[in-house]
Chains A and B, each alone.
Chain A
């Protein structure tokens, strides 16, 4: 089985722009979670989607949003980018949505200039 894939792998944007990141879960997995990883704050939960519905949301501003499609693929969007949004954005998938084993993708590294 193919693992979790994320596109693009690298991205450079400038302050004020917006960005959309994509995640394709492992085939058959219905839950997709997003995390932000930075040297200062570590790994922080952004949100989780299951069957096209947002199940949980972390402590991030409304500039961070996401969605999930009927094929379980997910996108996250960050609007009005700030320098502090520079991070590795990781997507994880699991079969269901209750403390299930999660498998991470390679991440998208976003640099905001």
Chain B
């Protein structure tokens, strides 16, 4: 079945550094790849998404790149801040609105 692998599972960076999270997927038919941020006690919050007709998308300090040939996509956060500390999930869109999620990355930004 469809599968999304996410790496690393934990990531610790110094404030101001960049953070990169990578995901690979198995379903070549998927065209939608969102990223969510989940803080303790809250539901996942959409931070950026990309569709397969676009290779890269940026929103201020956040960017996502997509390589459909290699079946992988990545999240890049620049100039990290302590409030970026959270668990980040990549996901892949399947039939309808079904999302298959990666296992999550716990990002810790040290002041």
Which residues of A are at the interface with B, using a C-beta cutoff of 8 A? Answer: 4, 31, 33, 35, 42-45, 48, 50, 55-56, 58, 90, 92, 94, 97-107
Contacts and interface: CB of A to CB of B under 8 A. Distances in A.
Given A99-B32, A104-B44, A105-B43, A55 B101 contact: no
Nearest to A50: B96
Contacts of B46: 101-104
B97 A106 contact: no
A69 B99 CA distance: 22
Contact of A100 (B44, B89, B97, B104): B97
A94 B104 CA distance: 22
A90 B43 CA distance: 7
A104 to B, nearest CB: 4
Contact of B95 (A43, A56, A103): A56
B12 interface: no
Contacts of A33: 97-99
Contacts of A31: 96-97
Contacts, number: 69
A101 B34 contact: yes
Contacts of A100: 97
Shortest beta-carbon contacts, A-B, top 4 = A104-B43, A99-B32, A99-B93, A43-B101
B104 A106 contact: no
26 contacts: A31-B96, A31-B97, A42-B101, A43-B89, A43-B91, A43-B99, A43-B104, A44-B101, A45-B99, A45-B100, A48-B98, A55-B97, A56-B95, A56-B97, A90-B44, A98-B97, A99-B32, A99-B93, A99-B96, A100-B97, A101-B34, A102-B46, A104-B44, A105-B43, A107-B42, A107-B43
